A and B are shown apart, each in its own frame.
Chain A
Amino acid sequence: MVKFDIKNLNIWFGGVHALKNITLQIQANEILTIIGPANSGKTTFLRMLNRLNELQSNFRMQGVVEFNKQDIMKMDKEKLRCQVGMVFALPTPLPLSIFDNIAYGPRLKGIRNMAKLKEKVEVALKRAYLWDEVKDRLGISAFNLSGGQQQRLCIARVLAVEPEVILFDEPCSGLDPISTAKMEETMLKLKENYTLVLVTNNVKQAARIGDRTAFFLNGELIEMDKTEKIFTTPSDTRTDDYIRGKFG
């Protein structure tokens, strides 16, 4: 099943042509990894999927992005963001307790019943594999957690909103190897129930957990294929060069 269908997407920020004629599809329950050097448009692409690019006043776009066969620009953007959650590069706990961070999304939807909130928080934390580490101290500030725990807290916070797709914007760039391994394990398990799009600067990470991989360069989609194929027999020499570390 196709989750996202992107046709001829062009994006500009002021005079800068950030994404050039991107056409691709994202399948349900896959991990699509996006690799490419800095300024290649990976993050812009990701932020298009939940319409965060619009926060910049000089944003302009052309083309169609469909989510579940609906044009996202015609959807209510709050509703879209509930269905397409996002985890940022640096952990972004809100200045609240662990519990309130996770309950934030459900509360926005108008859920006030404490028992129901507690249940949602527990389920979300368990799915993000953080429950055992924090279950006795849900009341403390989220800032007291380690970086890796904060990042999994952010995943739990997204899960509590019950999205269909989760976008990851270099989620492990600030984490140590052990936390990174835990994050990857979490993402692989999430695949069963969610569609994941992962932007990463770590080529090896893309190889480890991606089902399919897309290579972006200077705002263009160079190629996209099964991860295995991209990393063994890429069809474009630039992809090969990037993976081998010849540039970027």
Chain B
Amino acid sequence: MRRIKEFIIEKLILISGLTCVLFVLLIFLFLLKEGMSVFKTVSVLKFLLGKNWYPISEPPQLGILPLILGSLMVTLGAIIISLPLGVACALYIAEVAPLKIKEVLKAGIELLAAIPSVVLGFIGMVTLVPWVKHVFRLPTGLTALSGSIMLAFMAMPTIVSVAEDALYAVPKAYKEAALALGATRWQTIYRVILPAASSGILAAVMLGIGRVIGETMAVMMITGNSATIPKSILEPVRTLTATIAAEMGEAVVGSEHYFALFAIGIVLFVISFIINVSADLFLHKTKS
């Protein structure tokens, strides 16, 4: 009787585990099946590097280069803002802050992660967008820069908590050894602690990028949604994610447009897969 119970529980857990993998596999297969159809009419190269995205003109022009550049620009901007801020914040929490401030800060950052992205997007729309428009004297404040600033806030919690873990994992002996040699606190942080935590910090950045590049709602609301190749960060852009969200509703099922949106999904899938794997590699390096 006992044996049977053990057997059943064991198999149930096994099935649960396999289901997870199965879901991912099915999603990927579905994405592949729907997305690949578009390459019957457009070559892969033309799809990725085509400069025009006019999916409903006749014949449709399905080049996603403007969308890729839009995503990259917004992501790059967000990382440039959130990386120094996030790492400095993690340093403060891990090395400098007294215990009480540390706890308050950590709770605050967790709260930041808990704000729904649509709320952040909404706040950005009514505060950040007019500000960007005013400061840079632009015809519209719906720009890649606005999106970058907004997304920087979303990437921050991830970057701070992973980077803080990495800094915390640096052996205390390193710190004491450096201090005992007459190094100041800053010299210790800069020359010993940061280098020792560098791969963990890189992983934090990677995870931050993953978070940003997959974000949809907030970017759609504040980047202006113009599918043209952006010349500067002060122009409206459209990201890969926003394109899918905005156009899926109106695309005719089975049309080239419909398949093209799925192909964008594959591109996104590949990008986040690469980012996650590299983050994993960096994290693994920290631990070994």
Taking Cβ atoms with an 8 Å cutoff, the residues of A that contact B are: 50, 52, 55, 57, 78-79, 81-82, 85-86, 88, 90, 92, 94-95, 104-105, 108-109, 154, 157-158, 161
Contact = CB atoms under 8 A, between A and B. Distances in A.
Contacts of B182: 78-79, 81-82, 105, 108-109, 161
A52 B176 contact: yes
What secondary structure prevails in chain B residues at the interface with A?
helix
B145 to A, nearest CB: 38
B13 interface: no
A85 B192 CA distance: 18
Contacts of B177: 88, 92, 94, 154
Interface stretch (B71-79, B83-91, B117-125, B183-191): B183-191
B111 interface: no
B254 interface: no
B32 to A, nearest CB: 43
Contacts of B191: 104
Contacts of A109: 182
Contact of B176 (A55, A95, A157): A55
Given A57-B98, A104-B191, A108-B187, A92 B173 contact: yes
A104 B181 contact: yes
Contacts of A85: 180-181
User: Which interface class (under 10, 10 to 19, 20 to 34, 35 or more) fits B?
Assistant: 10 to 19
Nearest to A54: B179
Given A57-B98, A57-B99, A104-B178, A94 B192 contact: yes
B28 interface: no
Contacts of B180: 50, 52, 81, 85-86, 88, 158
A108 B183 contact: yes
A81 B179 contact: yes
B196 interface: yes
A210 to B, nearest CB: 22
A81 B175 CA distance: 14
A157 B180 CA distance: 11
B174 interface: yes
Given A88-B173, A94-B192, A95-B196, A108 B179 contact: no
Nearest to B175: A55
Given A94-B177, A95-B192, 19 more contacts: A55-B176, A55-B179, A57-B98, A78-B184, A79-B182, A82-B181, A86-B180, A88-B177, A88-B180, A92-B173, A94-B178, A95-B195, A104-B178, A104-B181, A104-B183, A108-B182, A108-B187, A154-B177, A158-B180
Interface in B191-235: 191-192, 195-196
A78 B182 CA distance: 4
9 contacts: A52-B176, A52-B179, A55-B179, A57-B98, A85-B180, A92-B177, A95-B192, A95-B195, A158-B180
B208 to A, nearest CB: 25
Contact of A158 (B181, B184, B192, B196): B181
Which one of B177, B187, B195 has the highest number of Cβ atoms from chain A below 10 Å of its Cβ?
B177
B193 to A, nearest CB: 10
Contact of A92 (B174, B183, B195): B174
Nearest to B178: A94
A92 B176 contact: yes
A208 to B, nearest CB: 25
Q: Sorted from nearest, which 10 A-B pairs have the closest CB atoms?
A: A82-B182, A92-B177, A86-B180, A81-B182, A92-B173, A105-B181, A78-B182, A108-B183, A95-B196, A78-B184
Contacts of A78: 182-184
Nearest to B188: A108
Contacts of B187: 108
Nearest to B184: A78
Contacts of B173: 88, 90, 92
Contacts of B192: 94-95
